[in-house]
Structure 1
Amino acid sequence: MNQLVFDDDIYNTIRHNIKKCRKEKGLTAAELAELIGRSHDFVRQIESEKVAYNFSVETLYRISVALDVSLDKLIEK
Structure 2
Amino acid sequence: MTSDGGGEHLSWLAEQSLLLGSQCYARLLSRAWADPDFHRLLVRHPEQAMEQEFGGSVGERVTVRVLEEPPGRLVLVLPPNPYARGGR
Larger helix percent:
1
* TM bucket, shorter chain: 0.3 to 0.5
Whose relative contact order is higher, 1 or 2, with alpha carbons under 8 Å and at least 6 apart?
A: 1
